[in-house]
Chain A
Amino acid sequence: MDKAKSMMDKNASSGPYHVNNGQSQRGFHGHVAVAANGSCSSSAPFGLNIGPNSSSFESIHHLHRGDDVECNGSPAKRCRLRRRTESIRRSRPPFPWFGMDIGGTLVKLVYFEPVDITAEEEQEEVENLKSIRRYLTSNVAYGKTGVRDVHLELRNLTICGRTGNLHFIRFPTQAMPRFIQMGHDKNFSSLHTTLCATGGGAYKFENEFRTMANLELLKLDELDCLIHGLLYVDRVGFNGHPECYYFQNPSDTQSCMKTPCTLDNPFPMLLVNIGSGVSILAVYSENNYKRVTGTSLGGGTFLGLCCLLTGCETFEEALEMASKGDSTNVDKLVKDIYGGDYERFGLQGSAVASSFGHMMSKEKRDSISKEDLARATLVTITNNIGSIARMCAVNEKIERVVFVGNFLRINTVSTKLLAYAMDFWSKGQLRALFLEHEGYFGAVGALLELLKAAEDP
């Protein structure tokens, strides 16, 4: 069973992330990793938030403040490390640092805002770079549809030797042409930055970026990015709190409780990414995973059907309606057919026998509300994903199922339902885990690739 547990280490959870002290600066994983490694010599000198642990990963993306720090390493070793640091500094990509995930419905953008800019740097900084920074950090909404998820901001993060805040921004994929136009208008190409992009849109819009904005995309695989980003954010934590959570007592609506936990020793895990569609991955290590299957019944299906059935226009609207509706007016339950439980097969009377099954009858169609329909759509899609995920977990012999993707944003109905479904149908064998930055891991992963490129020139 899943070893995920709630945070126990108060020190670590409240520890600052940007302090350069080898002992106290670690993220909450550092603790464990140090103990395991027995030494922090490999990467601790750089005083980064996740330093000690990063040695266990082959790709070290997240480096490093340049300042020298105390270390037990020999002078020669220190020297080597310094040289390396220098080289990183030299090859560190120029600002701005973006990571972008262009999905079927939403574009997810992460932006690293450096807060350790020196006066010298400030002077050197070109005007449109400043204006980008100010525009992004001083607004929470961009145009009609762009949103910055302020509550998700990761503060005082040290990446690649720089300290800053990581901002999470999203806007509909439909607005992509306007976004590219903006890149042209702001003369983005003059900044000589590499725009790392993942998701299908990286391929679909590649040509438009090139011709309209004179920008060359670094296209990245979305599943690679997803996994790298997820593991990274989990490692650095959520401003001193765990990124990951689960539900205690998922089968009991009264005592069901969201509980933070860590993902330490995260492998193997079944990763269920619910965007417009759904991809299900079995992840055995950071770079060893396979896509087990996928389903086209995902967030796009929920929203698409809701729009058609209720006339709503946004995900928020659809969820709002769903929160007020009653799906049992729409769905046919086991008890509607058998009068109670179907004992021969151990099916509870309250189980859904046929989603939208009541809608076969005209009288019932005339008597339900839009809210009921929205709720039924949400429950149908969620249960189905749960069911497929559970079967995959059993087939792959993985007990920990991690659900991510923007379908779960502000969607406690679904997260609780998934938690319940995993627990109930597996008789407690499977545990559903969730992450606070639901849909942004691909974009984070893309950003990390930008910095990785800097690392090995």
Chain B
Amino acid sequence: MAEGVRLDGTSGGHTMDKSITLPPDEIFRNLANAKRFAIDIGGSLTKLAYYSTVQHKVAKVRSFDHATKVSEASSDKLYEISVQEEVTPRLHFIKFENAYIETCLDFIKDHLVNTETKDIKATGGGAHKFKELIERKLGLKVDKEDEMTCLIKGCNFVLKNIPHEAFVYAKHADSEFRFQTTQPDIFPYLLVNIGSGVSIVKVESEDNFERIGGSSIGGGTFWGLGALLTKTKRFDELLQLASKGQHTSVDMLVKDIYGGSYASLGLTGDLIASSFGKSATADREFSKEDMSKSLLHMISNDIGQLACLYAKLHNLSRVYFGGFFIRGHPVTMHTITYSINFFTKGEVQALFLRHEGYLGAIGAFLKGAEKDNPNQYSWGENYAGSSGLMSVSPDMNPMQRARSGTFDMLEMDRLERQLVNLPLLLDPSSYVPDTVDLTEDALAREYWLYCFEEALDGVVKRAVASQPDTQEAAERAEKFSQKYRHKLQTLRHQPFAYGSLTVRSLLDTREHCLNEFNFPDPYSKIKQKENDGALKYYLKAVKALEQLDWKERQFALVRGLLAGNVFDWGAKAVSDVLESDPEFGFEEAKQQLEGIRTPCLWLSDLWCFLFQGPPHKCALFFVDNSGVDIILGVMPFVRELLFRGTEVVLASNSGPALNDVTNGELQILTERLAAMDPVIETGLRDERLTLVQSGSSSPCLDLSRLDKELAMVVRERQTDLVIIEGMGRAIHTNYYAMFSCESLKMAVIKNAWLADRLGGKLFSVVFKYEVPSEKPSQPSAALTRS
């Protein structure tokens, strides 16, 4: 299921391990440039890690030199678009069964071009056993690393770099997985690693951790005792048995002793008083299932109890569980969760990790890559290249547990920019970017998955059209389509595969898949055309505004901003119009918004209230679409702010996403506007108008992962107003975001379903002005209906 690649299915009928043909397109990708190998060999699974670089195409914009090329045909265009090859460092992690080690090593040997690698970092209990094989096959020296150190390093890495890495497991909830938001500070925490025994490690910082305790009753006890009691050999089978058993026939419960509960101590009758207590007295046979279940409860409860005692002693509230006993098994996650709840009375939650199985390999890799200092960069999970969390419920699909022959992958891209929190977030630790968690909202999930599927053909068409000179573009676009459709199907069944499912994650996955097949910027040409078109109206628009008195002007500005925001190729309702009517323009958009004339009037009152007081020191503006939106909607407003003496920081995407204006494009646009408009020109010159990149390549906005430089500018300028524009940034995400300064969120709802959900109609307007609570409360307008 999912991304797991079944080896035997691709091997032309052979099912013998030795004759497996690995599909190189799917696993062990980018081996040619691979270096810095690390391997973590556990009891049954091997995890391989390597660093590689990926060449992929990126869209670049470059300003035409109008002075020299004025006579050329292209001079009517503002800038040229070029596609360049760029190299991105990527981390690859692959997990497979130990049975395939030899095949995999052979494959790596055959495909490894780069030979500067001399050694391979190894960890895990099996590293010793396979040392000789690895050295012989790969010709690399095996360099053993301490298991626990690797585990902790890996754990720190995923907690820091992968949003929604940790989750709480709730068996009977609507969604089994409740993902946790990334904390600004991940330390301190407790890691309870349940391998054959249990290690309890307190982690206080990147390099400071201590094994504070442990227990010999762990996964090995479950497995060993289980094998003795049930004659069942495999760990997975034992868990299967346990999930079908009744522990009450083997365990002595409180009610077996008391006849009911032990009320004065608050012990309920169903509580286990003595594990296996009945088998000491009852002279009868017990079923394998029941004994396995009893054993599972006994061990899980015991580990949970010890973990709680240690958490209490060290005053820690974040407790992560890992090790092969846990490793995505719903049965053990459930019993451990239950135990922790019971012993802490709900004060501590058991946390699990999506990439728990990779921690050792990641850590070993990081040990080997220390001189590259990978921790100084931010990394992001590549949704296109990662398998995601397997569906784990054995009730849902028992075969999924039998992973024989499946490969699981995790890929992480090095992000160009280091990402940090927006300093203006009121409470970074409780900030959740996404407005609706589709993992928990089945109705919304259905709708959005359907939406993205419906829109897929259009995206494919756009992608092909963006590369008219490339012959195999259609073929690649088809592959993209397959991949993304497959992802959507996976998410339909396993919404939790990549953490919380959100509109943002669906959009980001699409961008990752597009990039994967070398469609870095399908909208580049459209953006270019629209930018060129809108520029022609800029002076006219500005002059018209200047002729209005202050109050009228405010009204026009609001209307302009909102009308501009209608131009959104990401919204199907709009792209259908734009597709069918190429002449659809700013005026038409304003007419489209005619229905909201009344609310606009009302809004402009609020607006006047907002902007008639003393000017803000500095406004941070997260912009949305290119073309009319940025040029005719946003820029006149920026002008107005500058007039008022407010500095402006325009934050735009680092990389392309839909028709959103990128930082590169905005640089050129602003230069061009400066040439026409002295206000902009002076603003730029005096650095009262600053352009920064957000660090993101998403149509949405995660304010906890923003470019470090942006954060710096925001701080330096003493920013006291945040403006967020557009559906992706202000509704799908950040609708509930709270800031420590005034904020304004505005968008036109270009999706009928969403409008309906929010209680409005298509092309309704969201205009949300908020003042932090320490300041006197101001009227806050949310949704207005058309």
Query: Could you list which residues of chain A lie within 8 angstroms of chain B, going by C-beta atoms?
Result: 103-105, 172-174, 199-201, 203-206, 221, 223, 275-277, 291, 293, 295-301, 303-309, 330-332, 337, 344-345, 351-360, 362, 365, 373, 380, 383-384, 387-388, 391-392, 394-395
Whether the pair A357, B257 counts as a contact (CB closer than 8 A) is no
* Complex interface: chain B residues within 8 A of A392 (CB): 309
Query: Can you identify 30 A-B contacts, CB atoms within 8 angstroms?
Result: A104-B274, A105-B274, A105-B281, A172-B281, A204-B257, A206-B259, A275-B274, A276-B277, A277-B272, A291-B265, A293-B305, A293-B309, A296-B274, A296-B275, A296-B298, A297-B298, A304-B276, A304-B279, A352-B197, A353-B197, A353-B216, A354-B195, A355-B216, A357-B220, A359-B223, A359-B224, A384-B216, A384-B217, A391-B309, A395-B313
* Complex interface: chain B residues within 8 A of A295 (CB): 301-302, 305
* Complex interface: chain B residues within 8 A of A383 (CB): 216
Which among B148, B215, B277, B309 is the interface contact of A104 at CB below 8 angstroms? B277
Whether the pair A332, B313 counts as a contact (CB closer than 8 A) is no
Q: Which residue of B lies closest to A383 (CB)?
A: B216
Q: Which residue of B lies closest to A174 (CB)?
A: B281
The answer to whether B256 has its CB under 8 Å from any CB of chain A is: yes
With most chain A CB atoms within 10 A of its CB, the pick from B148, B196, B229 is B196
* Complex interface: chain B residues within 8 A of A291 (CB): 265
Known: A296-B251, A300-B252, A359-B227. A354 touches B280 (CB 8 A): no
Known: A297-B302, A305-B276, A359-B227. A200 touches B254 (CB 8 A): yes
Whether the pair A391, B313 counts as a contact (CB closer than 8 A) is yes
Known: A300-B280, A307-B280, A354-B196. A200 touches B310 (CB 8 A): no
Q: Which residues of B in the span 158-206 have a Cβ within 8 Å of any Cβ on A?
A: 195-197, 199
In the complex, A390→B357 CA distance in Å?
32
* Complex interface: chain B residues within 8 A of A380 (CB): 216-217, 221
Whether the pair B258, A200 counts as a contact (CB closer than 8 A) is yes
In the complex, A345→B211 CA distance in Å?
6
Whether the pair A301, B275 counts as a contact (CB closer than 8 A) is yes
Whether the pair A201, B275 counts as a contact (CB closer than 8 A) is no
Whether the pair A304, B277 counts as a contact (CB closer than 8 A) is yes
Q: Which residue of B lies closest to A309 (CB)?
A: B228
Whether the pair B224, A200 counts as a contact (CB closer than 8 A) is no
With most chain A CB atoms within 10 A of its CB, the pick from B196, B216, B278 is B216
Whether the pair A308, B286 counts as a contact (CB closer than 8 A) is yes
Q: Which residues of B in the span 294-346 have a Cβ within 8 Å of any Cβ on A?
A: 298, 301-302, 305-306, 309-310, 312-313, 343
Known: A104-B257, A105-B277, A380-B217. A345 touches B265 (CB 8 A): no
The answer to whether B108 has its CB under 8 Å from any CB of chain A is: no
In the complex, A358→B250 CA distance in Å?
24
B313 to A: closest C-beta gap in Å? 5
* Complex interface: chain A residues within 8 A of B250 (CB): 304
Known: A104-B274, A301-B275, A395-B313. A358 touches B280 (CB 8 A): no
The answer to whether B627 has its CB under 8 Å from any CB of chain A is: no
* Complex interface: chain A residues within 8 A of B286 (CB): 308
Whether the pair B309, A276 counts as a contact (CB closer than 8 A) is no
Known: A103-B257, A204-B259, A360-B220. A300 touches B277 (CB 8 A): yes
In the complex, A237→B262 CA distance in Å?
32
Contact with A along B206-247 (1 / 0, CB 8 A): 000001010111111101110111000100000000000000
With most chain B CB atoms within 10 A of its CB, the pick from A221, A291, A304, A384 is A304
A-B contacts besides A296-B277, A301-B298, A308-B291, 11 pairs, CB < 8 Å: A173-B281, A199-B257, A200-B254, A204-B260, A276-B274, A300-B276, A300-B280, A353-B197, A353-B220, A359-B223, A391-B310
Query: Could you list which residues of chain B lie within 8 angstroms of chain A, going by C-beta atoms?
Result: 125, 146, 148-149, 195-197, 199, 211, 213, 215-221, 223-225, 227-229, 233, 250-252, 254, 256-260, 262, 264-265, 272-281, 286, 291, 298, 301-302, 305-306, 309-310, 312-313, 343
Whether the pair B279, A395 counts as a contact (CB closer than 8 A) is no
Whether the pair A305, B306 counts as a contact (CB closer than 8 A) is no
With most chain B CB atoms within 10 A of its CB, the pick from A105, A201, A359, A362 is A359
In the complex, A330→B223 CA distance in Å?
12
Which among A301, A353, A387 is the interface contact of B306 at CB below 8 angstroms? A387
In the complex, A299→B256 CA distance in Å?
16
In the complex, A307→B228 CA distance in Å?
12
* Complex interface: chain A residues within 8 A of B257 (CB): 103-104, 199-201, 204, 276
* Complex interface: chain A residues within 8 A of B262 (CB): 200
Whether the pair A277, B298 counts as a contact (CB closer than 8 A) is no
Known: A104-B273, A296-B298, A384-B215. A305 touches B225 (CB 8 A): yes
* Complex interface: chain B residues within 8 A of A344 (CB): 146, 148-149
Whether the pair A203, B258 counts as a contact (CB closer than 8 A) is yes
Q: Which residue of B lies closest to A305 (CB)?
A: B276
Chain A contact residues, majority secondary structure = helix
Whether the pair A394, B313 counts as a contact (CB closer than 8 A) is yes
With most chain B CB atoms within 10 A of its CB, the pick from A291, A297, A331 is A297
Whether the pair A356, B252 counts as a contact (CB closer than 8 A) is no
In the complex, A293→B216 CA distance in Å?
20
A346 to B: closest C-beta gap in Å? 8
B549 to A: closest C-beta gap in Å? 73
In the complex, A281→B26 CA distance in Å?
58
Known: A172-B281, A200-B254. A359 touches B274 (CB 8 A): no
Q: Which residue of A lies closest to B295 (CB)?
A: A305
In the complex, A362→B309 CA distance in Å?
35
Which among A201, A204, A331, A356 is the interface contact of B228 at CB below 8 angstroms? A356
* Complex interface: chain A residues within 8 A of B291 (CB): 308
In the complex, A204→B257 CA distance in Å?
7
Which among A276, A303, A354 is the interface contact of B224 at CB below 8 angstroms? A354
Whether the pair A354, B218 counts as a contact (CB closer than 8 A) is yes
In the complex, A291→B220 CA distance in Å?
31
Whether the pair B343, A293 counts as a contact (CB closer than 8 A) is yes
Q: Which residue of B lies closest to A275 (CB)?
A: B274
Whether the pair B280, A304 counts as a contact (CB closer than 8 A) is yes
Whether the pair B279, A277 counts as a contact (CB closer than 8 A) is no
Q: Which residue of A lies closest to B272 (CB)?
A: A296
Whether the pair B258, A204 counts as a contact (CB closer than 8 A) is yes
With most chain A CB atoms within 10 A of its CB, the pick from B196, B224, B256 is B224
Known: A356-B220, A384-B215. A303 touches B196 (CB 8 A): no
A89 to B: closest C-beta gap in Å? 33
* Complex interface: chain B residues within 8 A of A352 (CB): 197, 216
With most chain A CB atoms within 10 A of its CB, the pick from B125, B148, B220 is B220
* Complex interface: chain A residues within 8 A of B343 (CB): 293
Known: A203-B260, A359-B225. A395 touches B312 (CB 8 A): yes
Whether the pair B274, A356 counts as a contact (CB closer than 8 A) is no
Whether the pair B224, A360 counts as a contact (CB closer than 8 A) is yes
* Complex interface: chain B residues within 8 A of A391 (CB): 213, 306, 309-310, 313
* Complex interface: chain B residues within 8 A of A275 (CB): 274
Q: Which residue of B lies closest to A345 (CB)?
A: B211
With most chain A CB atoms within 10 A of its CB, the pick from B211, B218, B252 is B252
A350 to B: closest C-beta gap in Å? 12
In the complex, A365→B223 CA distance in Å?
12
Whether the pair A354, B221 counts as a contact (CB closer than 8 A) is yes
Q: Which residue of A lies closest to B256 (CB)?
A: A104
In the complex, A105→B279 CA distance in Å?
11
Whether the pair A337, B274 counts as a contact (CB closer than 8 A) is no
B278 to A: closest C-beta gap in Å? 7
In the complex, A330→B225 CA distance in Å?
10
* Complex interface: chain A residues within 8 A of B218 (CB): 354-355
